[in-house]
Amino acid sequence: MKKFISPSLLAADFGNLKATCEMINNSEAHWLHIDVMDGTFVPNISFGFPVIEAAKKYCTKPLDVHLMIVHPEKYISRFAKAGADILTFHYETVENAFEIIEMIKSEGIKAGITINPDIPVSVLEPYVDKVDLVLIMTVFAGYGGQIFIEESYNRIAELKEIIKRKSANCLIEVDGGVSELNAKKLFDNGVNVLVAGSAVFKASNPIETIHNMLNK
């Protein structure tokens, strides 16, 4: 089974973006996760195109960009040009998810779809064989440092069953409350990609923490 760590820039030191990217480059992390928040879909505002462009300049790992915004279709081309390698949007924010998936793929990058914890996993069934990854939010989108919602394991199991039934090949990613304490259980439950923010960037040794999360 594929196992990836995608540290979340939201928890990093924004004043040392180059050093952050160099740490990611030197670690066993596979991607760098970048949360884009608009203050409308979620009650917070985070990064825009200049930060993604700067991260792309310094980071040798793929940029895993998570759009927590309304009307993502307006910005897909700009995010692709800024350096996104993977672009994930929220099912809740669009009228036609198929169109958004096609727009992302037409830019030559990978497409992901995600839902908040209060959205039924079943809504994802039409899309799992069309996307490269499905992101299950294990906290509500909008802020870092939240507590992992334990019910998420049942949602992961439901998603796995849908993927199997549809003979799909998409990766399962989770975001929110991920740490060394639950990394092994998440991988054991079929998750492929762990997004970890505070657990990595607030650790005394982030590179060691990433290694431990992958190898425990």
* Catalytically annotated residues: 35, 175
> d(Cα 150, Cα 101) in Å, to the nearest integer?
29
* Contact status, residue 76 vs residue 105, Cβ threshold 8 Å: no
133 Cβ neighbours under 8 A, 6+ residues apart: 86, 88, 110, 111, 112, 170, 171, 172, 173, 192, 193
On whether the CB atoms of residues 98 and 73 are closer than 8 A, the answer is no
Q: How far apart are CA 158 and CA 94, in angstroms?
A: 23
> What residues are paired with 195 via a beta bridge?
6, 175
How many whole angstroms separate alpha carbon 192 and alpha carbon 213? 12
Nearest to 211 by CA among 23, 68, 13, 67: 23
